[in-house]
Amino acid sequence: MAGGTQYLFAVGRVKAKEEEIIDAGMWQRLIDAEPDEALRLLKDHGYGESGEETSAEAMIASEMTKTAKFIAEISPEPAFTDLFLFPIDGYNLKLMLKGIVMRKDVTPHLREGGAIAIQRLQRAVESDAFDGLPKAFARAIKTLETETDARVISTVVDQAVYDAILDVLSEKKHDNALLKRYFKASIDHTNILSVIRAGALGYDEKAVSRLLIDGGDMDKAKLLSAVSDGEDHGALALAGVAAEDGVKKALARYAERPNIGMLEQALDRASLSIISSARGDVFGIAPILYFRLMKEREGKMLRMLFAAKRGNVPITAAELGVKEA
């Protein structure tokens, strides 16, 4: 494990950077602004890496690249902070595989900054060259060679992402109870969303079973039993078996007023709260991870905001989740 001095230095730099996270007042100004004005506000705020970005998506991608560079620069334990890069690899792999199915070039939509170089991942998909690739990703690519169902592709790749992460955490030298708890909760939250969406679409248990990810703490049998209860009652059934208070409350609210976007935000906040609970440990990894997760959440919120602006759809601070930002 890294020394205490390294952590004190890194956490001190992170605390200073937290001042850059968009606050509630700035969010309201962004909500009220026209699209071009909102982009100018972000630039003035210092958002983005170069200041030359001309679209919201380019600015968000640039800011995440800047954040990843900062985390890589200060992290006392890259083995832990790099775990949060695997979801980017998962996103890219899903696009590549779905692009093959749809016979579309997805290269312009791939995201830099993952743990696996884009070219390395493309080579594995195109030529089964798996050297240097995490075993979980290699298994997923082999499993999905002939798969055409986009939902199954997404589930298998998500499983690979979590398997790769948990494989690292299973090593004695990388054992970390906080991170195990965080990622297992994230698996449970992903499965909850799959069950809720499946219930809304009228899927049966057999269809939903193919969409659930292994590795979480929630009993899969109980997750599947909620499918037959329908969308509203299924949410209540899941609330009854969820361990976290925040998740129970989010599902109860969903049962009263179904809004999948707000449920997803609530589950993201529940995951974030696990890391946030350890933010006070200046000799631990939590303050660094909290900053990264807050920046990721900020990016998601900005994508929601600018999508609403492009569609000329009004959106409120509550719908964005600004109160908890």
Angle at Cα 246 formed by Cα 241 and Cα 249, nearest 5°? 70
Integer-rounded Cα Rg, in Å, for the chain is 20
Position 87: which residue type?
P
How many Cα atoms are found within 13 Å in the side-chain-facing hemisphere of 208?
Answer: 26
Chain centroid, CA 111 distance in Å: 14
**What is the chain's length?**
325
Q: Which residue has the tokens 């743990």?
A: 115
pLDDT digits (tens, 9 = 90+) for 168-215: 999 988 999 999 999 999 999 999 999 988 888 888 889 999 999 999
One domain, residues 291 and 237: no
Chain centroid, CA 60 distance in Å: 15
How many Cα atoms are found within 13 Å in the side-chain-facing hemisphere of 23?
Answer: 4
Indicate whether 143 pLDDT > 70. yes
Position 131: which residue type?
D
One domain, residues 91 and 134: yes
At residue 23, what are phi and psi to the nearest 5 degrees?
Answer: -95, 180
Residue 38 neighbours by CB under 8 Å, 6+ apart: 30, 56, 305, 306, 309
One domain, residues 261 and 306: no
pLDDT at 189: 95
CATH code for the domain in which residue 16 is found? 1.10.132.50
Alpha-carbon torsion (62, 67, 70, 71), positive or negative: negative
One domain, residues 189 and 262: yes
One domain, residues 194 and 269: yes
**Count of the separate structural domains present in the chain:** 3
Task: Note whether 216 and 184 are within 8 A (CB).
Answer: yes
Please, what is the angle between helix 56-74 and helix 4-17, to 10°?
Answer: 160
Listed residues 174, 207, 235: the one ending a domain: 174
pLDDT digits (tens, 9 = 90+) for 220-269: 988 988 887 665 667 878 888 787 888 999 999 988 888 888 899 899 99
One domain, residues 304 and 324: yes
- pTM of the predicted model over 0.85: yes
Nearest in space to 127 (alpha carbons), one of 143, 111, 142: 142
One domain, residues 231 and 245: yes
CA distance 304 to 83: 25
The CA-atom distances, in angstroms, between 3 and each of 54, 77, 284 are 42, 10, 10
CA distance 199 to 215: 22
pLDDT at 239: 83
pLDDT at 3: 56
Angle at Cα 35 formed by Cα 31 and Cα 39, nearest 5°? 90
One domain, residues 96 and 47: no
One domain, residues 47 and 99: no
pLDDT digits (tens, 9 = 90+) for 45-101: 999 887 777 899 989 989 998 999 999 999 999 999 999 999 999 999 999 999 999
Domain that holds residue 11: 1-77+285-325
How many Cα atoms are found within 13 Å in the side-chain-facing hemisphere of 153?
Answer: 21
Average pLDDT over residues 4-25: 92
One domain, residues 195 and 259: yes
Nearest in space to 134 (alpha carbons), one of 171, 172, 97, 160: 160
One domain, residues 181 and 259: yes
One domain, residues 325 and 261: no
Nearest in space to 306 (alpha carbons), one of 34, 13, 69, 72: 34
